[in-house]
Structure 1
């Protein structure tokens, strides 16, 4: 890992600070006085507006493919076990079949609509796997073959989660590579996520949280691409002679339809999809909007605009509002099965007299959908019933109370007592690195004024801090609420690994000589060994706990040896 290949190098950090550029009157300077290239754009401004080379890198994609293959094998191998529905699959797998069969969640025992409190998109995705590979439910005497092939029914309802988990690893590799300007660090981030037990268990279970994570991460990735696209737009305009100090449109790049913020609009659609899985995605909306504004202010400062804050708000607020409209439209569209059917819960006023519903054309379904949302919101705000596996937000990163998805003492393991468990537990060495990594990230981010550190910290805050507020009301919560923050926590660890592997050059004290090339190379070698050793230790830790991530049969003694923290994991 060389300093040229990692964004932790000094030059990359300077490029990411978004510091105000010198007045562009300097562009009239002759060559050799700090300017370069067409239009006489100063080299410092070029560096600050630099983005990742967009050309296809075959080696980078090959490395990405290896990491994604590892993730896919771990997630699909033995996916049909254990047999039957585990944990909340008893709800989501059945709701998913109802959506595929009737367009709404349906209670086949009572032959009536089901009252559910989560939006439908995640269950639609689970249902696609059931449609493709078949579905069985002995309790309701349902058995349907798959449209592509018929497999074990468990494979069908877990298939979409495994795909989502594998795709999230792919996204994290590419996002990490773009943010850190390093294929090595991008692959390290993806590999750490692939080797996390928490992520693995969610990727092999028909729950909603892995889909929530995927859509949030994809929206963040779209915004990172938007940031790069906007910086390239400003760079091209400066090369063409734009003077950003001029007032009004004359001091801004032209805005043709090709240069609209398409990635930002896509992020709005993806956030709508995230909200259509779970409402907790809403916490990321203001955080991501703030990131967009800060990045737009930064690019204007780098270009030399005189009023970057005012210009950024005036120019970008309409686009943010349009992205918000797309988010709402996407969310409502995922309720199409409910809107265009008469079978959904609270769908028709005639079936629920005195409920304040409406059967008026067009507006009636929307009114009823709003009433449904009010009922679901009331459920969430009053959810305070104690649960064996509930936990508090301050316990999550410490693995204070993981959730057991499955446990059985049956089977022949060659010992008097056996145990088989699927425990929603993060790989301990990785998870116990999160808090130190966040502290180091905050320090390094402030010291380097690095946009990447701020983006990661803000995203982690959006995923975790709101739950501390709900803890004040003693709301029942579980550790899997951490899921959408997990990729950003991994990025925090990766950032620190990059800082260790290729540290920024230290300031040279007056009278002292700077480090030689050999000394700098030796320092990078030591840092690379430390970072590589950490990833290897995480892999070994993952391997040790792997049996309780996938429900492998163990002797009771071997299972008990993996129950750390004085039984808090039992």
Structure 2
């Protein structure tokens, strides 16, 4: 609750202080307004995200006293900024809770859950996107909700209704922007890997027969008298306990391969497509000159026509530079006079640098650990199956939300990394929680130092996340690298 209250407060505090359209609000907020006023528009993304912006404006007009201003407005800029930003702020404040819920689903570790939610709440880019009328927060919200529903399906023996819910929300994520398909692709990678393991497990080299014989010869001799005195009862209880532990650590990879193909196709292909198709109906009714297929061709053609050079946009950045946060995006910049002195008001779409750099190291370390576990599995050495499944889930989602951008030739921006970054934050939380579990003082110092630095970094860069006035000297102290300007 403290994490949620903190997230909510930071997103709503002086939300309309900069009462002007900022960055892509000139498109997205305008599209939401146009739907309500039934004005003509052309959008380069599916309409679902703008429907929510329109919903926010409508609720503000009918429930929050903005009706007169809405009726008099001829364009979205005539409205108070609170009207088209508040729903984004609320949605963005829920995202840390979803990340924490997914962490608890897979691990049932309270501290890891709090760390995952806390790290997500301390990310600057998510805060910036939540305080403006942009649509990335809806992509993330529905994608994470789909992952949570998938976890529910696994814990409830692949309950069909949870599989349908998973497909529905994954389809909703792609209905905000096409890159929302990254969450769907992550499931496909996980499912494919489960089948690969199922097919090659019989190819593994057998264990030495001598080891098996030695294990079989190690038996415990229990006297008959002791059995009569209750030791047999104790042994029976021990066997039942071990059996329950084995069952609780059931191989989730095997569980995935048990999904019926018809259910799989219905849940993860038919349901997402039907949702995607249906959400276009309101848009096409307002714009009957275009068919559904024509809209898809126009969107695809637009993105293919965008070049990838800085001549297109000065804040273009290649996909491989996002993990080090080499090139953030300046959403807003102004130099007003306050009390006769020039100050800088800046909104920088950049993450918490300490959090991003540590999470990049965390995901790289996790991939190394995962490969080592894969080698142990191949050699039939004992492994923690549940932990390995969790690591595979994290890696598949991270790679699916990140690596496809390598094939994109158009101009890309750092906010395209947001889906992968949330998985990286969760990975960092796992490593910090593991370190805190160790008794050695060095691990404790490293863990608490990482937490303290992440909090300190968020506080230090907070003014350029929410556009607080800074002196030129204070602003330049926060621009550590020339590429950040």
- Which range, TM-score by smaller chain? 0.7 to 0.9
CA contact (8 A) 2:124 2:458 kept: yes
Say which SS state the counterpart of residue 406 (structure 1) adopts: strand
Aligned to 2:277: 332
Aligned to 1:31: none
Aligned to 2:337: 411
1:171 is displaced (CA, Å) by 0.6
Flag structure 2 segments of 5+ consecutive residues without an equivalent: 63-67, 202-245, 374-382
Say which SS state the counterpart of residue 554 (structure 1) adopts: coil
CA contact (8 A) 1:177 1:187 kept: no
Distance 2:403 2:266 in 1: 27
Evaluate the alpha carbon distance shift between residue 206 and residue 467 of structure 1 in structure 2; reply closer, same or farther with a 3 A threshold.
same
Task: Select the residue among 247, 254, 264 that pairs with 2:163.
Answer: 264
Aligned to 1:387: 313
1:294 is displaced (CA, Å) by 5.2
Task: Select the residue among 340, 355, 365 that pairs with 1:430.
Answer: 355
CA contact (8 A) 1:289 1:320 kept: no
CA contact (8 A) 2:70 2:79 kept: no
Residue 490, structure 1, aligned to residue 413, structure 2: no
1:281 is displaced (CA, Å) by 1.6
Evaluate the alpha carbon distance shift between residue 403 and residue 310 of structure 1 in structure 2; reply closer, same or farther with a 3 A threshold.
closer
Distance 1:434 1:459 in 2: 15
Distance 1:309 1:84 in 2: 50
Instruction: State the Cα deviation string for residues 148-168 of structure 1 (Å, max 9, x = none).
Output: xxx972111111211121111
1:528 is displaced (CA, Å) by 4.2
Aligned to 1:144: 71
Q: TM-score, normalised by structure 2?
A: 0.79
Task: Select the residue among 559, 562, 567 that pairs with 2:475.
Answer: 559
1:441 is displaced (CA, Å) by 0.8
Evaluate the alpha carbon distance shift between residue 484 and residue 314 of structure 1 in structure 2; reply closer, same or farther with a 3 A threshold.
same
Say which SS state the counterpart of residue 303 (structure 2) adopts: helix
Distance 1:496 1:66 in 2: 23
CA contact (8 A) 1:96 1:126 kept: yes
1:338 is displaced (CA, Å) by 2.3
Evaluate the alpha carbon distance shift between residue 266 and residue 294 of structure 1 in structure 2; reply closer, same or farther with a 3 A threshold.
farther
Aligned length, in residue pairs: 412
Evaluate the alpha carbon distance shift between residue 226 and residue 298 of structure 1 in structure 2; reply closer, same or farther with a 3 A threshold.
farther
Q: TM-score, normalised by structure 1?
A: 0.67
Residue 458, structure 1, aligned to residue 401, structure 2: no
Distance 1:309 1:436 in 2: 26
For residues 199-214 of structure 1, the aligned pairs below 5 Å read 199-214=126-141
Evaluate the alpha carbon distance shift between residue 164 and residue 176 of structure 1 in structure 2; reply closer, same or farther with a 3 A threshold.
same
Distance 2:125 2:467 in 1: 14
When you count helix as a share of all residues, which structure comes out higher?
2
1:177 is displaced (CA, Å) by 1.8
Residue 287, structure 1, aligned to residue 186, structure 2: yes
Aligned to 2:365: 440
Evaluate the alpha carbon distance shift between residue 496 and residue 454 of structure 1 in structure 2; reply closer, same or farther with a 3 A threshold.
same
Distance 1:143 1:128 in 2: 13
Distance 1:284 1:186 in 2: 20
Distance 1:402 1:560 in 2: 15
CA contact (8 A) 2:153 2:163 kept: yes
Say which SS state the counterpart of residue 405 (structure 1) adopts: strand
Flag structure 1 segments of 5+ consecutive residues without an equivalent: 1-64, 107-112, 136-140, 231-258, 349-356, 358-367, 504-521
CA contact (8 A) 1:212 1:274 kept: yes
Evaluate the alpha carbon distance shift between residue 187 and residue 295 of structure 1 in structure 2; reply closer, same or farther with a 3 A threshold.
farther
1:273 is displaced (CA, Å) by 0.6
Say which SS state the counterpart of residue 407 (structure 1) adopts: strand
Say which SS state the counterpart of residue 421 (structure 1) adopts: strand
